[in-house]
Amino acid sequence: MHMRRLVFIDDDKSELEEFSRIVRGQYECRTVHWPQESEELFSRPAPDIFVSDLYLPPHTGDLEPTPAQREEGERIAPAVAGQFSELYADSTREDKTRLRATMAAIVAARVLLDQHGMRWDSRLSTESRCLRI
């Protein structure tokens, strides 16, 4: 039986290793360490599935947030986290409505990461992800 091909993109090598271990035997998994190996995305046949980290820093790396960005991020972060925690609180919610809410939460998280100098803490396990300010 042919295994489906999966590409996982992340800027944290430990996440790449952990994810590969999880899907081993179920998918033919290729990892791409961002941005160092980003050219590999275009040098091989397209996979069946792409999995990407929510936040990939620019090629120039993350910038250190200003004190004002930190304060604003601290103020906004609880509301963004609340959007995610509410996604499955109502079991009667229609799938399409939940999908829209999920996309809105992802966009809010991305704005928080991009505009307020926040980053995902790569030192934490996948199960205990949190925002680092």
* Contacts of 43 by beta carbon, 8 Å cutoff, 6+ apart: none
Q: Kindly report the pTM of this predicted structure.
A: 0.48
Query: Which pLDDT value is given to residue 62?
Result: 60
**Phi and psi of 28, rounded to 5°?**
-80, 105
133 contacts 80 by C-beta, under 8 angstroms: no
Q: Indicate the range of 52-56, 59-63, 82-86, 112-116 predicted with least confidence.
A: 59-63
Taking Cα atoms as reference points, which of 131, 122, 7, 21 lies closest to residue 70? Answer: 131
pLDDT tens sequence across 23-74:
888 888 888 888 888 787 788 778 888 787 766 666 666 667 788 888 888 8
Burial of 87 (0-12, 13-18, 19+ CB in 10 A): middle
Domain boundaries in the chain?
A: 5-52, 67-132
At 129 the pLDDT is 39
